[in-house]
Structure 1
Amino acid sequence: MTSLRRCLTSLYLAAATMLAPLPALADRCDDLAGQLKSQIDGLHVGKTAANAIFLSHPATTQLILGCPNRKFTNELIAGTDSRKPKPEFYDLVARASAIIFTIPVADTLKGVTRCIKRMGLLHGDDVQMRYRRLNMHCTRTKTSAAIAVSRGNDE
């Protein structure tokens, strides 16, 4: 009788552990947004919609963290209201890119600066370039400038 009782007890215990709720695992993109918030002063995490997390910072008018999909691992999109961004904008984009893509801040700052400063009379208002395995796409209009930094899935 005791062996039957042990068998039933172990069966109930196994069933209880299988039916117990599993701990919630946070999404990698949400973790990355939290890491950005903790390491960059003045950054606030907003809503998540359509595989993107909207962020806000005083140095930008638009800041979006794109989550991984079929084309790229992560993407950072930043925009400002001035045609020639202030140094705070460069610093924010470089620091955020360094955290997202695990590259030194000096390298991302150099790439971001090159991309935005390359726009002009010779290259036009739409510049695409690669720097340190990052794809950078800079655009500007008469009143604003924007940059998108991403890395492809195959890298």
Structure 2
Amino acid sequence: MLALGAALISAPAHADPCEDIAKQLAGQIDGLKVNFTAANITYLTHPAARELSLGCRGKDYSTELYAKTDRKIKPEFLNLVGSATALIFTLPKDDVMTGTTRCLKRMGLLRGDKITMRYKRLNLECTRTRTEASITVRRSANE
């Protein structure tokens, strides 16, 4: 019994991979802070975004980034989303910037207020209302 107890005590604790990714993001993106984690979602804050969260292991996805800002999208927001997506999904930042910017810029009179597209094995969903615009970037569970 004593040996079993000692083995359990000395076993390393396994950190949540979502929290590890959030800490890595906070360390590499200026102004990004980790708030708290609840139900596999880590909430983050940044001056360029109204809302920012990182979700891990949902029913249909393995990792998800959600970001919301004002309806008039600023370059700081595009840079934040591109940098975070590149770090989370380990893709080149230039490629990710192209995909996220394309999704956010397509919203308008001709295409509507909800755009769904696929780019570099990522599912991008951009929506906007009268006052805000948001983007959800996710990779499906089977990829």
User: Please, what TM-score do these two structures have when normalized by structure 1?
Assistant: 0.87
- CA distance in 2 between counterparts of 1:121 and 1:69 reads 32
Local SS of the residue matching 2:138: strand
Tell me by how many angstroms 1:144 deviates.
Answer: 0.6
Output the amino acid matched with 2:76: E
1:148 lines up with 2:111 in the alignment: no
Inter-partner Cα distance in structure 2 for 1:47 and 1:147: 21
Moved over 4 A (4+): none
Q: Distance in 1 between the 2:25 and 2:100 partners?
A: 18
> Gaps (5+ residues) in structure 2?
none
State the 1:67 CA deviation. Answer: 1.1
**Superposition RMSD in Å:** 1.5
Task: State which of 51, 60, 70 in structure 2 corresponds to 1:62.
Answer: 51
Which runs of 5 or more residues in structure 1 are unaligned?
A: 1-10
Q: Which residue of 2 aligns with 1:8?
A: none
Q: How far apart in 2 are the matches of 1:30 and 1:90?
A: 23
**Change in CA separation of 1:22 and 1:152 when aligned onto 2, cut-off 3 Å:** same
Q: Which moved more, 1:66-75 or 1:105-114?
A: 66-75
Distance 1:125 1:28, change over 3 A: same
- Calculate percent identity across the aligned residue pairs: 54
Distance in structure 2 (CA, Å) of the matches to 1:92 and 1:42: 10
Q: Cα distance, 1:25 vs. partner? A: 1.4
Change (3 A) 1:24 1:131: same
Change (3 A) 1:130 1:16: closer
TM-score, normalisation: structure 2: 0.94
Q: Which residue of 2 aligns with 1:92?
A: 80
| Structure-2 change in CA distance of 1:134 and 1:22 (3 Å) | same
Q: 1:16, CA displacement in angstroms? A: 5.6
Give the partner amino acid of 1:117: K
For 1:107, what is the secondary structure of its paired residue? Answer: helix
Distance 2:136 2:11 in 1: 37
* Structure 2 residue 108 is the aligned partner of structure 1 residue 120: yes
The answer to which structure, 1 or 2, has the higher relative contact order (CA under 8 A, 6+ apart) is: 2
Cα distance in structure 1, aligned partners of 2:8 and 2:65: 40
For the residues of structure 2 that align with 1:69 and 1:126, how far apart are their CA atoms? 22
1:44 is the counterpart of 2:33: yes
Q: Counterpart in 2 of 1:109? A: 97
* Residue 121 of structure 1: how far off its partner (Å): 1.0
Identify the structure with the greater strand proportion: 2
Q: How far, CA to CA, are the matches of 2:102 and 2:95 in structure 1?
A: 11
